[in-house]
Amino acid sequence: MATLGVETRGFGIIFLVVVLVSMQSSSGEIHKVGDSAGWTTIGNVDYKQWAATKTFKIGDVIVFQYKPEYHNVMQVTHAEFRACNVSSSISTHTTGNDSITITTPGHHFFLCSVPGHCQAGQKVDINVLNSASTAPPQSATPAAVAAAQAPAPAPSVAAPLHGLNRLSTVCLLIALALVSGFC
Ligand SMILES: *[C@@H]1O[C@H](CO)[C@@H](O)[C@H](O)[C@H]1NC(C)=O
Ligand SMILES: *[C@@H]1O[C@H](CO)[C@@H](O)[C@H](O)[C@H]1NC(C)=O
Ligand SMILES: [Cu+2]
């Protein structure tokens, strides 16, 4: 009986870890570049300003929406981004509804390679934080970043979505405690 109880608890812990990991990876936000304007040269959309108002995290999805007959999306190097001159893109997207999932931290430079468009401002620098934290980099202390990287985020830096996940986690823990107790 005692052996069975330990085994059940062991499986419970493995199950909990799997659930927590899947929760973390499924909590990515979707960011539509340019919001309602989309990816365009019309209306002088300030993509630098757009990016400055967002917090990009690993697992987030960047969506470019545009008419594919007029524009495209290329991920390029910093030098190419600055010069609006692409020799070989890191990746090219041309569907007009391109979803790009962020998997690495740091700067991700995108531009439209149609002549003149990048120069006209159709370029965006997506700067991705090196954590799943929702706190802006200016206010994130090392302790806060460490807390945010732990399976259960600290309450002070948790977004509403994370709050929901935390609630589910508590319910799950109670359920597991009950199951382990009865077996
Ligand atoms: C673009 O860059 C290449 C080298 O990387 C250079 O030869 C070319 O002149 C540049 N074109 C423009 C328009 O600046
Ligand atoms: C763009 O693609 C997503 C799925 O990747 C889909 O849900 C959405 O409806 C599409 N939007 C347009 C305007 O085609
Ligand atoms: Cu364009």
- For residue 109, being part of any structural domain is answered with yes
- For residue 112, being part of any structural domain is answered with yes
Q: What's phi and psi for 15, nearest 5 deg? A: -60, -45
- What residues make up the domain containing 81? 28-131
Which has more confidence, 173 or 53? 53
Ligand 3 midpoint to CA 130 (Å): 30
- For residue 67, being part of any structural domain is answered with yes
How far apart are alpha carbons 89 and 113 in whole angstroms? 10
Q: What is the DSSP letter of 150?
A: S
How far apart are alpha carbons 36 and 44 in whole angstroms? 13
Examine the pLDDT at 22 and tell me if it is beyond 50.
no
- For residue 161, being part of any structural domain is answered with no
> What CATH number should be reported for the domain holding residue 40?
2.60.40.420
Examine the pLDDT at 182 and tell me if it is beyond 90.
no
CA-closest residue to ligand 1 atom 1: 85
Question: Total domain count for the chain?
Answer: 1
pLDDT at 14: 35
pLDDT per position as a tens digit, 116-145? 999 999 999 999 998 654 444 444 444 444
Average pLDDT score over residue span 54-81: 97
pLDDT per position as a tens digit, 33-61? 999 999 999 999 999 999 999 999 999 99
User: pLDDT tier at 175 (50, 70, 90 boundaries)?
Assistant: very low
Examine the pLDDT at 162 and tell me if it is beyond 50.
no
Q: Where are the alpha helices (DSSP H) in the chain?
A: 2-25, 47-52, 78-83, 142-149, 160-182
Ligand 1 midpoint to CA 99 (Å): 29
- The answer, yes or no, to whether any atom of ligand 2 lies below 6 A from the CB of 99, is yes
Residues counted in the chain: 183
Task: Calculate what percentage of the chain has a pLDDT beyond 90.
Answer: 55
pLDDT at 130: 85
Ligand 1 midpoint to CA 87 (Å): 8
Q: Which two tokens stand for residue 144?
A: 């806060």
What pTM was computed for the model?
0.64
- For residue 176, being part of any structural domain is answered with no
